Each structure stands twice: as C-alpha cells, then as structure tokens.
Amino acid sequence: MMKAHNAVFGIPLLMVLLAGPADRSSAPVSYAEVQRVLDAKCTRCHVGPDAAEGLRLDSWESVISGSRHGEAVIAFDADNSLMFELVTKLVGGPHPTELESEALTEDEAELLREWIDEGAPGDSGQIPFAEADQLLYAVDQGEAKVSVIDMETNMVIRTVDLQALGFPAFALPHHVAVEPDGSYWYVSLIAGNAVLKFDRENRLVGRIDVEWPGLLALDPTSDRLYVARSMASVNPPHRIGIIRRTDMTMEEMDVFIPRPHALAVARDGRSVFTASLSVNDIAVVNPEQETVEMTTLAGDRPHVVINFAVSPDGRWMVGTTELTSQLFVFDLDRLPDLTPVDAIDVKTAPWHPVFTPDGRWVYVGNNWDNSVTVVDMETREVAAVIEGNGIAQPHGSAVSPDGRYAYIASRNLKMPEGHTKSAHVYKPRYDLGDNAHIGTVIVIDTSTRTIVRIIEIEDYGSGLGTATRRQ
C-alpha cells in the first residue's frame, strides 16, 4: 500500500520541487498572455502621451522602452525589475492599490515574474537589448552584483548576479575593466579574493585568485590586466598583480610601497602607475624591464592618492587625493619623474577621475561632499561643481565613448557621524521596504553639465567601466 502510494505521488512531488515554486508549467510564457494582464489592469493609466510617468504598457516595445526615469523591466531579473517590484512589494500596498485600483492576482504577478525571468521576450521571442553595443558596467558592491547599462537609452538592461554563480553575498565586487572591443570584461572581488572574466553575454569564462584585489587597469597594447589592492585591507601584499587576460594566469610584481591602491597604465603600455594609501609614494613600474621608480609627493600630511586617469593622448595623468582634496596633474613626458606639475583644489575626498574623449575635461565625484567637480584641463581650473539629487558618496566614474554623458556611481551609505552632509542620502523613488540605501549612477549631460537621469542600481555603486564596440 505504502509502496504504491510513493510510486504514484512521490515522483510528481520530486518533479515539482526540482522545477521550483516559480514554475507554473514548463511552457514559456508568451508575451500575448502578459499583454492581456496589462490590458486588464494597467493600460488604463499607462497608455498614450499622458501615460503615468511616461510609461506605456500597451505593447512589448513600449514596455521595454520604460518610463521617463528608466527601465521598467530588466530581462532575466524579475526581482530587480521595477514593474515586478512595484506590483508585489510597494510599501503601503502593491501598485496600483495605492491609487485605489485593482492589484494583480498572485497568478498574474507570477506570470509577470516568469516572463521577465525568461528574458522578457516579445511575440517572436526577441530578447530586449540583445544587440546593445554601448555598455556601461556598474558594480553593486553591497549586493555581489553588476548592473549592465545601455548608454544609448541609459537604462539598466541586465543584472549579473555573482551569488547565482556561487560567490558569497559578501564577495564585495569592486572595480571593472572592459576589453577595448567589448568582447570580455573583468571584475575584482575584494572579499572573494579573485578577479573574474566574463564574456559579452555575461557568462563567467575565467577566474584567478588574487589577495585583496581592488582597482583594475587594462593595457590595450598587450594581454595584460593589472590589479592593485583594496582599501579594505590594512596590510595587503606590497605587490601588484599582472594578469594575462587570455588564460587568466597571474604574476605578481613587487612595487615596494605599502597598500598600493591607485592604478593606471600609460597609453603605450610601457609604464604602470600605482600609489600607496599610507605613504606619499607613487611607483612607476616598467613591466617589461621589471623595474620600479619612485616619486615622493611633497607635503607633511598624507595625501592618500585614490586613483589616476591618463588623458586620451597619453600626455597627462591626473590623480585624486582623499585627505588633501586635490587633483594632481602629472606630465608623462617627464617620466620616470612624477612630481606633479599642477594641483587643483577640488571638494572633499575626490574619488575616481575620468577624462572626456577629447581630453579637455576631467570629471570626478567628491566622495565626502556629494558633488562632482569638472576640471578644465586647458586652463587647469575648476569649470563647474555639480550637486543634486542622486549624488550620494560618489565613487566610480565613466564617460560615454561619444563624450555626451558622464556617469558617476554613488554608494549611498550613511555618512560618518557629525559630517556636515550626513543627512544627504539618496531616497529611492519608490519605497520597496528593502531599498533605502540603493546605489545610483547619475547621468550628466556634458554639454549642459546637468543631471539628466538618476539610474537606480543595487546596493553600493562602486566601479564603472564602459564597452564601446561589439566584436
């Protein structure tokens, strides 16, 4: 009797467990089913030129093109898609019940989830943004994720979840580097003690163990990817890593300074620059000859150099200093001497600097000031200081290849006690119960120097990297 019972009920039960609770059936959801739900419960307010928040929900194309603020759906990631989050967990009642409209039933919400997790395909199976080729990778350090942003629409189009790949929630991804042709990208995991390699389709294709990795710098003239050490470690190796990108093997090279953090490569690939977080020393590494030359920055106080950026023509390098709040300018024609030729006062604790493609401007977020400084490299003067909602402990920076947009990632953690701007944190547009401290990537229009969009990402925005071409 028991045996018969198991034979009949045991096997289907096992199949249900394997399939997981989110699976209604094995057949993929068709977009027509999704549209029927949207037509019944949503399009009343989300159609035409007056659609709420500019979000039209009357066709696949309009759903995918999002609202005036950004994406409604991130393909393959229902949990982080605003459209799914709002209708399931908006605090005060699932949307649109706060507007006294009927909520989705559990089955309808589940249908939406499945459709998004299957890639949010259209009627003919097309996957949104499969052909996007202007990509910005934004690291979500607090959640072991990387958000992929399309720079043409400035929307999040994919999420790479490192936990789903077996890494711990506290892996602390930090910085990202991208092949010039966009074919692969790399991310450092501070606490995961590794550098990972992903392909264009965000498949993990390689990894190398690295102790306390932090910033990355890719040499476009060779197969080398350099890695320095995270600020999170007070006594990491006094060495930088030299990774061979094709096979992800690594050698380490002594740079003779404690806590090597800042990192950049000269355009000709012949020099690599790193600076110490605890002493005022900058090391110039010649990777071919395996030599290191040292420059000591003047000053009795520690500067704490955070990061470097090299100008597109290769002539200049800038470096930010956390404790003296300056942007140093270095003339690379004078190598190996790296005595600054200029020092520009910016706001408190400038973080990652970035040049515009024409070399004229440098953008840098001031971490403890919630502002972004724009420096004119011709006059060597501050051209603008940008403040505004969305800038909350700015960290990583990037510029679109056409120079149209500058991007600054924000951590949005609480400021240290007693800090003048401690109350200034970014408040997400919707209270979803668990998103009070989400990170942002602000989009600055470089022609007007105004914030044109606040892209909400996951927790703690840190490093940014861009991919410009498709292979």
Binding positions for ligand HEC, rule: CB under 6 A? 41-42, 44-46, 52-53, 55, 67, 69, 72, 82-83, 86-87, 95-96, 98-99, 101, 104, 429
Residue type, 140: D
At residue 470, what are phi and psi to the nearest 5 degrees? -100, 145
| Minimum CB distance to ligand HEC smaller for 378 or for 434 | 434
Beta carbon of residue 99, minimum distance to ligand HEC (angstroms, whole number): 4
On the CB side of 206, CA atoms within 13 Å amount to 15
Beta carbon of residue 46, minimum distance to ligand HEC (angstroms, whole number): 5
| Minimum CB distance to ligand HEC smaller for 170 or for 430 | 430
| Minimum CB distance to ligand HEC smaller for 98 or for 247 | 98
Beta carbon of residue 324, minimum distance to ligand HEC (angstroms, whole number): 41
Residue found by looking up tokens 């890593």 in the block: 241
Residues pairing with 410 in the sheet: 394, 440
User: The tokens of 411 are what?
Assistant: 């951590």
CA–CA gap between residue 161 and residue 168 (Å, rounded): 10
Beta carbon of residue 53, minimum distance to ligand HEC (angstroms, whole number): 4
Starting at the edge strand that comes first in sequence, how are the strands of the sheet with 194-199 ordered? 173-178, 184-189, 194-199, 204-209
Residue found by looking up tokens 């034979």 in the block: 7
CA–CA gap between residue 430 and residue 51 (Å, rounded): 18
Beta carbon of residue 142, minimum distance to ligand HEC (angstroms, whole number): 22
CA–CA gap between residue 30 and residue 221 (Å, rounded): 46
CA–CA gap between residue 127 and residue 141 (Å, rounded): 27
Residue type, 107: D
| Minimum CB distance to ligand HEC smaller for 112 or for 231 | 112
| Minimum CB distance to ligand HEC smaller for 85 or for 369 | 85
Packing angle of the helix pair 106-117, 31-41 (nearest 10 deg): 140
| Minimum CB distance to ligand HEC smaller for 95 or for 347 | 95
Closest C-alpha among 155, 193, 202, 177 to residue 55: 155
| Minimum CB distance to ligand HEC smaller for 82 or for 116 | 82
Beta carbon of residue 388, minimum distance to ligand HEC (angstroms, whole number): 18
What is the CB neighbour count within 10 angstroms for residue 383? Answer: 15
Beta carbon of residue 37, minimum distance to ligand HEC (angstroms, whole number): 7
Are the beta carbons of 85 and 79 closer than 8 angstroms?
yes
Beta carbon of residue 50, minimum distance to ligand HEC (angstroms, whole number): 10
Beta carbon of residue 249, minimum distance to ligand HEC (angstroms, whole number): 45
What is the CB neighbour count within 10 angstroms for residue 149? Answer: 27
Residues pairing with 161 in the sheet: 145
| Minimum CB distance to ligand HEC smaller for 79 or for 252 | 79
- The SS3 call for residue 15 is helix
CA–CA gap between residue 383 and residue 372 (Å, rounded): 11
| Minimum CB distance to ligand HEC smaller for 40 or for 164 | 40
